[in-house]
């Protein structure tokens, strides 16, 4: 327990926020700083073939021990934290023996069971939060700490027999570029698991189809005292466009397999404005319908003004991995049994988001997603129960042993 907790807290304190506006890869130098430290740590605990390539992907190997001709399994986590909330100067706090009352943090931040009832599942457990001024970074430093801790445990064990194991750690997952340059062939795994899930027991092989929509509006600024029939207020055009998209298909009104349009940013003035939307749906057909509808909305606004004052840049980001995982469903069943053997109830569900595993699956590396234990990612209400992290380490070890019994 001390190992995974110490490792997670140490990782959480590292400033690794990615930047969606950056043109570099990785998007921030601070990720490189952490990656270099990670390389040294992996070497210190005895991993083989530790490498960081020019794109900052860190990979390593646990050589086979007592097993020949089994498949090569991989475990993957990302090192960056979300730019949605501050990840600088993270100060993790351990709350011993959580008693079910609201957790009071700084800046008036309260993890109140009335608003976050899932925390009541962890009464009597030790939980980790940030201090209220930052996110915690359990997404995905909990997964990172669990993989490295499991790797160290497997290396030191004289009882665990296994085939070759590959580890991969990526930057920029939170800004949609985590596997842009990942060399699946060089990685050399037959299949892998991302440790990037939420609550204990989560096991996922479905995720959103995803696109990003950048909408630019060119208004016309005229002195407001003399603007009749002349001014085109770009901010009000943006408001019109927002109102034309279905309000019930916003994230705050959707759940399970329901998709959404998410207005992530709006900037501008009378002369010009820019909106950025995330478009998500598990169903590929509904995903295509959503993209078509936003295109039609832009066309209608332009028709109203009699000229093209609105432009749309629509780009696919990733797709539902289910299509690539279903032909090899035994790898999902294997992870499910590994949880059962660890005393964890599997909760198979669809990810309301995406992981590196989605793109890796389309690149030829089937990659379901396993829980890392955290809750309320990307904000100050984030927490991770310590027992969930311990069970994640156990599940990784169980998967390794089960794969060692398979034939390549």
Catalytic member of 14, 80, 152, 356: 80
Closest CA to 408 of 105, 183, 188, 130: 188
Determine the Cα–Cα distance for residues 109 and 42; give it in Å rounded to an integer. 36
**Pairing status of strand 202-206 against strand 347-350:** parallel
Collapse the DSSP code of 9 into the 3-class scheme (helix H, G, I; strand E, B; otherwise coil) and give the result.
helix
Determine the Cα–Cα distance for residues 175 and 145; give it in Å rounded to an integer. 21
Burial class (CB in 10 A: 0-12, 13-18, 19+), 407: exposed
Phi/psi of residue 260, each to 5°?
-160, 165
Q: Is the peptide bond before 65 cis (omega within 30 degrees of 0)?
A: no
Tell me how far CA of residue 200 lies from CA of 106, 268, 274, 292, 296, in angstroms.
27, 42, 39, 37, 42
Determine the Cα–Cα distance for residues 244 and 249; give it in Å rounded to an integer. 11
Please indicate whether residue 173 is annotated as part of the active site. Answer: yes
Determine the Cα–Cα distance for residues 133 and 380; give it in Å rounded to an integer. 6
List beta partners, residue 161: none
Closest CA to 196 of 144, 232, 118: 144
CA triplet 370, 375, 381: central angle to 5 degrees?
155
List the structure tokens of 355. Answer: 């992981």
DSSP class of residue 249 equals G
Cβ contacts of residue 368 below 8 Å, gap of 6+? 193, 194, 203, 204, 205, 321, 325, 331, 332, 335, 357
Catalytic member of 140, 172, 173, 174: 173
- Residue numbers annotated as active site: 80, 173
């Amino acid at each position: 327990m001390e190992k995974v907790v110490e490792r997670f807290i140490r990782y959480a304190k590292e400033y690794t926020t990615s930047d969606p506006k950056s043109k570099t890869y990785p998007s921030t130098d601070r990720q490189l700083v952490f990656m270099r430290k990670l390389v040294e740590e992996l070497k210190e605990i005895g991993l083989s073939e530790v490498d960081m390539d020019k794109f900052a992907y860190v990979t390593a190997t646990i050589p086979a021990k007592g097993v020949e001709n089994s498949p090569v399994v991989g475990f993957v986590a990302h090192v960056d934290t979300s730019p949605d909330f501050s990840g600088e100067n993270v100060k993790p706090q351990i709350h011993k023996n959580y008693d079910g009352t609201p957790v009071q943090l700084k800046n008036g931040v309260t993890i109140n069971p009335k608003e976050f009832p899932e925390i009541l599942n962890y009464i009597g457990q030790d939980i980790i939060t940030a201090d209220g001024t930052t996110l915690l970074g359990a997404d995905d430093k909990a997964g990172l700490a669990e993989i490295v801790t499991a790797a160290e445990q497997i290396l030191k064990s004289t009882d665990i027999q296994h085939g070759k194991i590959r580890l991969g750690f990526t930057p920029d997952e939170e800004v949609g570029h985590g596997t842009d340059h990942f060399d699946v062939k060089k990685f050399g795994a037959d299949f892998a698991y991302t440790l990037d899930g939420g609550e204990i027991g989560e096991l996922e092989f479905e995720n959103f189809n995803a696109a990003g929509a950048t909408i630019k509006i060119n208004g016309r600024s005229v002195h407001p005292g003399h603007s009749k029939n002349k001014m085109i207020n770009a901010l009000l055009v943006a408001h019109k466009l927002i109102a034309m998209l279905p309000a019930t298909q916003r994230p705050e009104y959707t759940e399970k397999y329901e998709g959404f349009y998410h207005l992530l940013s709006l900037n501008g003035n009378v002369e010009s404005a820019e909106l950025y939307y995330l478009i998500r749906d598990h169903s590929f057909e509904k995903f295509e319908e959503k993209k078509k509808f936003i295109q039609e909305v832009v066309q209608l606004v332009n028709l109203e003004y009699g000229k093209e004052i609105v432009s749309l840049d629509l780009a696919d980001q990733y797709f539902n991995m289910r299509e690539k995982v279903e032909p090899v469903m035994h790898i999902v069943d294997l992870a499910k049994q590994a949880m059962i053997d660890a005393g964890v109830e599997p909760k198979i569900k669809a990810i309301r988001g995406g992981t590196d595993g989605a793109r890796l699956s389309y690149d030829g590396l089937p990659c379901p997603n396993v829980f890392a234990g955290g809750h309320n990612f990307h904000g100050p209400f984030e927490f991770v129960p310590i027992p969930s992290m311990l069970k994640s380490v156990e599940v990784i070890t169980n998967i390794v042993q089960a794969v060692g019994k398979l034939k390549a």
